[in-house]
Amino acid sequence: MAPDPAPAPPGGAGDYAGWTWQQIQAAINDGQPATIHDAGTDFEDARTKLDGVAKNATHVRDTLTGPDGTWKGPAADGFAGLITKMIDDTQAHADSLTPYKGALDQAGDDLTDAQTAVATAITEAGQDTIDRYNDEVGAYNAAAQAYNAGTGPAPVDPGPAPYVQGADGGTTVDVSRYPEIEAELNEKMREIIAKLAGQYGTAGGKLTEPGQEPPPTPADEQPPPPLKDDVPAPDLPPPADAAPADAVPPPDQAPPPHQAASSEEHTAEHPSPTQIWNSGVGV
């Protein structure tokens, strides 16, 4: 069963302060850089064809009505005036498309970079969660040994591991186990999407209609791209109540008092996280 989609963030598309990392991940990963590059190529093809039409029409006009042309008189002058206007309009449209390919190629590259940054931020947050848990496991083992030796209080239960491994070997990590780690992830993701919106604004500022000058609005004041805020998260398995078989044993399996604790007990490995989940919402 797929998880419920994240609620729509407050504010407009450019107000990312209330967006969660799940919403930002969905918005950015929904983009397809290849389609942006393809659009740039299509605009460049259109520019080339319009430029060719203008040049061919210029050749026809000059051949017929130019100084060495064979057509003279009022009709020729009328034709030359009409075709010259057509040439000027066509060339204006061609020239207006000149920056499109570069701007769209840059936008596609910016989206690719943003998607890479999203994946990196999520992976780092997942690994930080695993490392934090392993620190707690280490503290538990040390406290258990002291307790068993009669030199310390009972160890504090570290709880189940905040990650599960799927059948495909991937790891799903619950970063919400440690709110400060999730808060840091939220901030990183908001920085990523704000940067991408600014880059899109810069690209959009280079795209003008024929005869228009580029708008003077600074790039950072350009309206951000519309982002989907109702994209359902992918269907991933929810975390199990218990840790994997090769992970930390439940606290009720801790060695009894005054028996030596194995150094291998409560030791979690460091799987490379590929996915993380939060409060039952797979991402």
- Residue 42 CA to residue 101 CA, distance in Å, equals 8
* pLDDT tens by residue, 81-111: 999 999 999 999 999 999 999 999 999 999 9
Q: Is position 278 within any domain?
A: yes
Where do we find the tokens 């919403």?
Answer: 23
Q: Is position 5 within any domain?
A: no
113 contacts 84 by C-beta, under 8 angstroms:
no
Domain of 251, in residue numbers: 21-282
**Type of residue numbered 134:** N
Q: Which of 100-109, 169-178, 190-199, 258-267 has the lowest mean pLDDT?
A: 258-267
Q: Is position 6 within any domain?
A: no
Q: Please name which of 16, 36, 11, 218 lies closest in space to residue 113, comparing C-alpha atoms.
A: 36
Q: Is position 1 within any domain?
A: no
Neighbouring-strand partners of residue 282: 277
Number of domains in the chain: 1
Q: Is position 232 within any domain?
A: yes
The overall average pLDDT reported for the chain is 79
Q: Is position 97 within any domain?
A: yes
* pLDDT tens by residue, 213-253: 554 544 444 454 454 444 444 444 444 444 444 444 444 44
Q: Is position 183 within any domain?
A: yes
103: DSSP letter: H
* pLDDT tens by residue, 26-82: 999 999 999 999 999 999 999 999 999 999 999 999 999 999 888 999 999 999 999
Question: Which pLDDT band holds residue 155 (cuts at 50, 70, 90)?
Answer: very high
Q: What is the predicted pLDDT for the residue at 14? A: 61
Q: Against a cut of 0.85, is the pTM above it?
A: no
